[in-house]
């Protein structure tokens, strides 16, 4: 069974549509979303609509929780809080109710799904082997999927050893047949690893592999939409740099 794993869309319709078109050309049977459907971008309604139609499972991220009132916006950066308040105004009641009903962690096909981490599904950034080690200590499943950091990466640990890991680039593949794994597909809507292309991952549970993918999309269009909505210009500017 092959699954397309996506995360951190952040209201970027241009990126999401391009990735879903790419996924349609693969053998993926399902799409799993790790959260943050809304956030920095200017098309939250379209992103909610597309995710609801495409995804077999969807988690709630911290930005989704900020928009629905599950988290205080005082905990967010200024730009993120401005975008969240704007999103609250443009989403309808049905979309907000749906977002509010999403969990921040789940299990499917023996795989753990977490927006942020197994220890803290909402806020923790798993960006180091040390933190991955602590996550492995609390994770029951052999494979865990995480988002939140906007960086495509993987960590692994074999019994009796410490965790190791590294960032993942386009077309890299990991053999998941041995050890325990934490996998991050990267961000669709706002990558932060220096590659501005939308990031996602193809998980093959039958053959125990994960492959990281990147998709070109209309960055200028996404940036123009942010500026047209009068959201902070920095949210548009950073898209072209992947930061």
Count of domains for the chain: 1
**Cβ-contact 81, 75 below 8 angstroms:** no
Residue with tokens 């749906």: 98
Handedness of CA 53, 41, 103, 110 (dihedral sign): positive
**Paired residues of 214 in beta bridges:** 199
Q: What are phi and psi of 60, to 5 degrees?
A: -100, 130
pLDDT in tens, 18-29: 999 999 999 999
Say whether pLDDT at 213 is over 90. Answer: yes
**What is the three-class DSSP state of 81?**
helix
In percent, the amount of the chain with pLDDT more than 70 equals: 100
Residue (of 121, 123, 166, 168) closest to 144 by Cα position:
121
- Domain of residue 112 covers 2-241
Residue with tokens 């050309």: 25
Q: How confident is the model over 143-150, as a mean pLDDT? A: 97
| pLDDT value of position 243 | 84
d(CA 98, CA 86): 18
| pLDDT value of position 56 | 97
Say whether pLDDT at 48 is over 90. Answer: yes
**What is the three-class DSSP state of 182?**
strand
Identify the CATH number of the domain in which residue 85 sits. 3.60.21.10
| pLDDT value of position 242 | 87
pLDDT in tens, 10-19: 999 999 999 9
Q: What are phi and psi of 75, to 5 degrees?
A: -85, 0
Q: How confident is the model over 42-56, as a mean pLDDT? A: 97
d(CA 69, CA 224): 28
Handedness of CA 9, 14, 20, 26 (dihedral sign): negative
**Cβ-contact 213, 183 below 8 angstroms:** no
Name the DSSP class of 118: S
């Amino acid at each position: 069974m092959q699954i397309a794993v996506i995360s951190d869309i952040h209201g970027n319709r241009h990126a999401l549509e391009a990735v879903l078109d790419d996924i349609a050309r693969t053998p993926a049977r399902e799409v799993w979303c790790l959260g943050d459907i809304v956030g920095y971008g200017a098309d939250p309604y379209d992103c909610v609509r597309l995710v609801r139609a495409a995804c077999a499972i969807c988690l709630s991220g911290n930005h989704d929780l900020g928009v629905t009132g599950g988290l205080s916006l005082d905990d967010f950066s200024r730009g993120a809080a401005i975008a969240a308040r704007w999103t609250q105004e443009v989403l309808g009641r049905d979309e907000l109710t749906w977002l509010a009903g999403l969990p921040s962690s789940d299990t499917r096909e023996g795989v753990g799904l977490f927006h942020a981490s197994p220890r803290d599904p909402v806020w923790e950034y798993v960006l180091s082997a040390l933190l991955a080690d602590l996550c492995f200590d609390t994770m029951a499943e052999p494979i865990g999927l995480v988002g939140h950091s906007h960086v495509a990466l993987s960590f692994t640990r074999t019994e009796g050893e410490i965790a190791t890991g590294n960032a993942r680039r386009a077309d890299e593949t990991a053999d998941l047949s041995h050890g325990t794994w934490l996998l991050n597909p990267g961000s669709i809507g706002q990558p932060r690893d220096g590659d501005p292309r939308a990031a996602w991952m193809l998980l093959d549970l039958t053959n125990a592999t994960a492959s990281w993918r990147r998709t070109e999309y209309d960055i200028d269009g996404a940036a123009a939409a942010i500026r047209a909505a009068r959201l902070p210009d920095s949210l548009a500017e950073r898209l072209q740099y992947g930061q």
